[in-house]
Structure 1
Amino acid sequence: MNELIARVKGMILAPDQEWRTIAAEPVELVPVFTRYVMILAAIPAIAGMLLMMALGFFFGAITNAIVSYVLALIGVIVMAKIIEALAPSFGGPQDGQAALKLAAFYPTAAWVAGGAIIIPILGGLVALAGAIYALYTLYRGVPIVMRVPQEKALTFTLAVIGVAILVYLAVWLLKSIFI
C-alpha cells in the first residue's frame, strides 16, 4: 500500500520525476493492474455509485458502477494499444511495455479526483480538474516513457487524445445501449 501511495503522490506532485522512475522500471500487466489500476479506477466508480444511491437510484447505481469500472480497466488496455500504435509515427519506438506504463499511470490524478464526484456539482468540477491534470501528466510522460522527441510530444499527445475520444465515444454509445 505504501508503494501505491508513493506512486500516486509522485504522479500528482512531481510527474516528471515519477515518469523517469516509471520508465526505468520493468512492468508486467497483471501486477500493474492488480496493485495500481484496479484500486485507483475503483475510486470514481464507488463515488459515483454512492452519489446515485444517495439520490435513490440503487439498481442503476450498482450497474453504472460496475460498467464504469470495467470500462475504465478496458480503457487502460485500449489506450496502451493506441499509444503503442501511434508512437512510430511521431519518432518513438513501438514499445508495448512503455505504452502500458503510460496508459496505466497517466490517469492517476483523474481517478483520485474522481472520488470527489460524490459531492454534487463541486465534485464534478474537481473531477474535471483531475482529468485535465491527468492529460497534462500524459503529455509530460510521452517524451520520457515513449521516447517521442520533445518537439513532437504535444502533437503525439493530442493524436492519442483524439483517437481515444473516438474510441470512448464508441464505447459510450455501446454503454448507453446496455444501461
Structure 2
Amino acid sequence: MILNHIWGLYAHPKEEWRTIEKRHESYMYSVVHILTIALIPAICSYFATAHIGWSIGAGPVIKIAESSALAMSVAMYFGIIVGVLALAYLIQWMAITFKASPDFSQSLELASYTVTPLLMVGLTALYPVLWFVTLSGLAALAYSIYLLYSGTPIMMNIPEESGFIYSSSVVTCGLVLLVALMAVSAIMFGMGFSTEYIR
C-alpha cells in the first residue's frame, strides 16, 4: 500500500525510518507517495477558497471564484511536486560533503516522507480560519523538521553527529526553496494571473 508508512512515522518515527531504510522501495513508490499526498492540500484548498470561504479576524468571509481557485490549486499541486523533487536533489547533492552516497531513490524517500506531515496538515484548510491553519501549519513544520533530524542518520547511514549537521543544512536549503517558491507564486500572480473574489 502506498501510504503504509504514515502511521509509523507518527507513532514510532525512528523504528519506521529503519523499516523504510531496510526495504528501500523503488523510485516510483516514492513518486506515487508524493503524487498522492500532494492531493490533500490542493483539493482541500480548492474547496476552502471556492466553497467555504476564508475568515480573517472579524471581517466577512472571503471566497474566490471556482476558476481562480482551481488554477491556484493546480499550480499548488505541481509546485509541491517540483519542491519535493528539488529537495531530494539537494539531499543527494549535499551527501558528498557528509561522506554519504545515497542514490536519488533514497534521497526522494527521505524528502517525501519528511514533508508528509506538512502536506497532510492541508486538511485543516477545510476549517479555513487563519489562526487555526497557521498554528496547525507551524506544528506540522516542527514535526517535519523532527522527522528530518531523526531520519537522516538512518537513511544516509551516517553517524548521528554528522546527521545533525547534514539535517541542519537540508533545513536551511529547504527554507530557501520554500521562499523561492513563494516568490515565484507572487511574481506569477503579479504578471496577470488575476484572482476573482466573491463576497
Q: Deviations over 1:154-173 (max 9, x none)?
A: 22111111112222222221
RMSD over aligned Cα atoms: 1.7
Distance between the aligned counterparts of 2:116 and 2:172, measured in 1?
20
Would you say the 8 A contact 1:40–1:111 is kept in 2? yes
Q: Which runs of 5+ in 1 are unaligned?
A: none
Spell out the pairing of 1:139-150 with structure 2 (5 A cutoff): 139-150=149-160
**TM-score normalized by the length of structure 1:** 0.89
* 1:5 shift after superposition: 4.5
Would you say the 8 A contact 2:37–2:120 is kept in 1? yes
Would you say the 8 A contact 1:87–1:148 is kept in 2? no
1:14 to 12, 15, 33: 12
Would you say the 8 A contact 2:24–2:106 is kept in 1? no
Aligned residue pairs, count? 176
Would you say the 8 A contact 1:116–1:124 is kept in 2? no
2:192 aligns with: none
1:99 aligns with: 107
Which protein has the larger Cα radius of gyration, Structure 1 or Structure 2?
A: 2
In the alignment, residue 127 of structure 1 is paired with which amino acid?
A: G
After superposing on structure 2, the runs of 4+ consecutive aligned residues of structure 1 that deviate more than 4 Å are: none
Distance between the aligned counterparts of 2:10 and 2:20, measured in 1?
14
2:31 aligns with: 33
2:39 aligns with: 42
Query: Percent identity of the aligned residues?
Result: 24
Q: Which runs of 5+ in 2 are unaligned?
A: 54-62, 190-199
Distance between the aligned counterparts of 2:3 and 2:26, measured in 1?
19
Please give the secondary structure, in 2, of the residue aligned with 1:168.
helix
Would you say the 8 A contact 2:121–2:140 is kept in 1? yes
1:114 aligns with: 122
1:170 to 162, 172, 180: 180
**TM-score normalized by the length of structure 2:** 0.81
Would you say the 8 A contact 2:153–2:160 is kept in 1? yes
Please give the secondary structure, in 1, of the residue aligned with 2:158.
coil
